[in-house]
Structure 1
Amino acid sequence: MRLFLVRHAQIQPNVDLFLESTVPGPDLTEEGRRQADAVVDVFDGRSIDAVYASSMIRTRQTAEPLAAARGLDIHVRDGLREINSGHYEGVSYRADIEGFISTIRSWAERDLDVRMPGGETGAKTIDRFTAVVDEAATGAQDVVLVSHGAIIAVWCCVVAQNVSTASLSEHLAIPNTGVVSLCGDPTDGWRVENWAGQAVDS
């Protein structure tokens, strides 16, 4: 099957450059709504069996135009929400967030017992996302999961067979409505085919 992990469209904290992981979180900006509308064209001509979104408002709003165009319901799952920023919630990217970044690096290197200061362990974060992927893979061939940049990047580094943890810095940056596509299944594993428009070696 193919799995399409879509980062949500723009919210104001993306513009202002600070960490935001509260639930349900903010709405899309006007630019974000335009970006969400454009997702329909991204999947033009491709069969989509199901659309999932996290429990955060911005992912549901991003998924709505595509789901409406395909006549599909949006399956909302809390497991797809962003990494809990913990003590770094609301901190500017320009400030000292090395603790946040170093925790993500540890997870990407599969040291999943590390806890985000004030937040979840890597194991809990990866497991909740994987549970939704496993559900979505049941009886479907092409599934869109609208989620969040950091958790998409880290999950792929941990789970995908052809994404090196050494490339985390490169892969962490996923633009708003950027798509990471994978092929595979929960039994045989996953391989990334394309990362936000860039082909990935198999």
Structure 2
Amino acid sequence: MRHGETDWNVGDRIQGNLDIELNAVGLKQAAAVGRRLATDSWDALYSSDLARARQTAECIGAATNHEVRLLPAFRERRYGLFEGLTRTQARERFPLEYAAVERRDSETVPPGDGESLSAHFARIAAALQTLADVHVGQRILVVTHGGVLDLVNRFVRRLPLDTRRDFLIPNTGINRVVRDVDGWRITEWGDVRHLADAGRDELM
């Protein structure tokens, strides 16, 4: 699932690998999804180590009685010099570079130690496969980021990286992904029944 809301989500500001904490709404969302998940049994709880994901996972862990295992491999994409800017500012200051990111050019590397979309995809696909191998026959929870979930969906459905997204990624939306003898499949996506409001659909 995606982390709860941050003030930077509200302000349309690119977070990337910057360590932004949840806002008051995000904390309520995290508590709500924790209560929802506590009604099922789980074998492990993992999270990106960035604060917004970790705080969400800690709320879930308190409800499900699980220790949070931190996995830096599930961090958001590195956006380099775009991080900290609103998307409007990124378009104005880096028109060519940011236009390539917006059209989902898989090999474009954002200036300033950024990460290409293809490199991010390879990182997430490998991390997902590793977790599935470690937890065969088990049910686990993973708290991560919008950009990561975009790639998880494409990995499972075998969609090209450069196609327009046809699914939502709301804050604390529950996405159920299965790997079994027949391969990968999505059984549920973007479930926010635990929220009074569906949350924001943002990637960064």
> CA shift at 1:106, angstroms?
3.7
1:170 and 2:166 equivalent?
A: yes
By percentage of residues, which structure has more strand? Answer: 1
Structure-to-structure mapping, 1:62-141, within 5 angstroms? 62-95=56-89, 96=91, 97-102=98-103, 105-107=104-106, 114-118=107-111, 119-137=114-132, 138-140=134-136, 141=138
Instruction: Measure, in 1, the Cα distance between the counterparts of 2:178 and 2:55.
Output: 26
How has the CA–CA distance of structure 1 residues 163 and 197 changed in structure 2, closer, same or farther, with 3 Å as cutoff?
Answer: farther
| 2:87 counterpart SS class | coil
Deviation at 1:33, TM superposition (A): 0.8
The structure 2 residue matched to 1:42, chosen from 36, 47, 58, is 36
Gaps of 5+ in 1: 1-5, 108-113
What do residues 135-154 of structure 1 show as CA deviations (whole Å, max 9, x unaligned)? 32213521111000012112
**1:160 partner amino acid:** V
Alignment counterpart, residue 142 of structure 1, candidates 139, 144, 152: 139
> Hey, which bits of structure 1, 4+ residues long, moved more than 4 A?
162-167
Residue 6 of structure 2 is aligned to residue 11 of structure 1: yes
User: Partner of 2:174 in structure 1?
Assistant: 179
Let me know the Cα RMSD of the aligned residues. Answer: 2.4
Tell which deviates more after alignment, 118-127 or 54-63: 118-127
Deviation at 1:188, TM superposition (A): 5.0
C-alpha contact (below 8 Å) 1:52/1:77 kept by paired residues: yes
- How far apart are the structure 1 equivalents of 2:10 and 2:31? 19
SS at match of 1:67: helix
Instruction: Please give the alpha-carbon distance, in whole angstroms, between the structure 2 residues aligned to 1:33 and 1:160.
Output: 29
Over 3 Å counting, the alpha-carbon distance change for 1:177 and 1:106 in structure 2 is: same
Q: Deviations over 1:59-85 (max 9, x none)?
A: 110011211222211110111000111
Equivalent residue of 2:157, what SS?
Answer: coil
CA distance in 1, matches of 2:140, 2:80: 30
What amino acid does structure 2 have at the position aligned with 1:154? Answer: L
The normalised TM-score by structure 2 is 0.77
| SS at 2:34 equivalent | helix
Deviations 1:2-30 (A, max 9, x none): xxxx100011100111101134x121111
2:152 matched to 1:155?
yes
Q: What is the identity percentage for the equivalent residue pairs of Structure 1 and Structure 2?
A: 28
